[in-house]
A = this chain, B = another copy of it.
């Protein structure tokens, strides 16, 4: 926890009282004492610092801080993801990892190779996925909570919903090991929003690839190695980010 995130309605003026997980973390992991100053943030709001006024070091843990907001809110990351719904245990890790890496909106969609039972996972309740996103933000010192949108049917997503996104993204990429275009050759812009679609274990089926292509997605490959979905998502996010940073940079002198 590199920043402690709170909801706006937890504040009472300049005072904030934390219990449960966050208080226990402050006591046991940070081993903080009265007078110590901790990095704080309001979810979808500014970052700042809190000075510990008092704490209860035993169960039920409790910490009271006097807070001061220093900075404006963070910027919404300009990469959005479409993910074929992964199995719940993997989705947990993916949510916190992509929140740490930075993502605007995560569209979780159905695909042919997604098991129908995955849609019954408790993790798809907002209070559940929110927890895992917050873990990622706390790690990365960010306050901007990614949006999550569920699309349990593929056809309405691709035919009806996708066109409504039109104009929001400067580029739409679809990752597929069979993609003819190497990702490093994709015309990735240095600026502007980008949409990246990553398939399920076993990949997209040809019908899905066709449908994405009809919607203007560019089918790219990041090499012949078959990766697990969680590894692939982190790798693709980082590769796209590196390529757009490279693109956005002024040429090196000399």
What residues make up the interface of A, taking CB atoms closer than 8 Å to B? 2, 97, 100-102, 139-142, 182-185, 187, 222-228, 231, 234-243, 245-246, 248-249, 252
Tell me whether B184 and A225 are in contact (CB under 8 A): no
6 nearest CB pairs, A to B: A184-B245, A239-B242, A235-B238, A140-B225, A184-B246, A238-B238
27 of the cross-chain contacts (CB-CB < 8 Å) are: A100-B225, A100-B227, A101-B227, A101-B235, A102-B225, A139-B227, A140-B226, A141-B226, A182-B249, A183-B242, A184-B243, A184-B249, A185-B246, A185-B252, A222-B241, A222-B242, A223-B241, A231-B234, A234-B238, A235-B235, A235-B237, A236-B238, A238-B238, A239-B241, A242-B242, A242-B243, A246-B246
Interface of A is mostly: helix
Q: Which residues of B contact A140 (CB under 8 A)?
A: 225-227
- A33→B95 CA distance, assembly (Å): 38
Closest to A185 in B: B249
Question: Least Cβ distance of A185 to chain B in Å?
Answer: 6
Q: How many copies does the complex hold?
A: 2
Closest to A138 in B: B226
Question: Least Cβ distance of A252 to chain B in Å?
Answer: 7
Question: Least Cβ distance of A108 to chain B in Å?
Answer: 20
A245-B141 CB under 8 A given contacts A100-B227, A231-B101: no
Question: Least Cβ distance of A224 to chain B in Å?
Answer: 8
Q: Which residues of B contact A2 (CB under 8 A)?
A: 226
Q: Which residues of B contact A226 (CB under 8 A)?
A: 2, 100, 139-141
Choose among A226, A231, A237, A249 the residue with the greatest number of B CB atoms under 10 Å from its CB. A231
User: A238 contacts which of B141, B228, B239 (Cβ < 8 Å)?
Assistant: B239
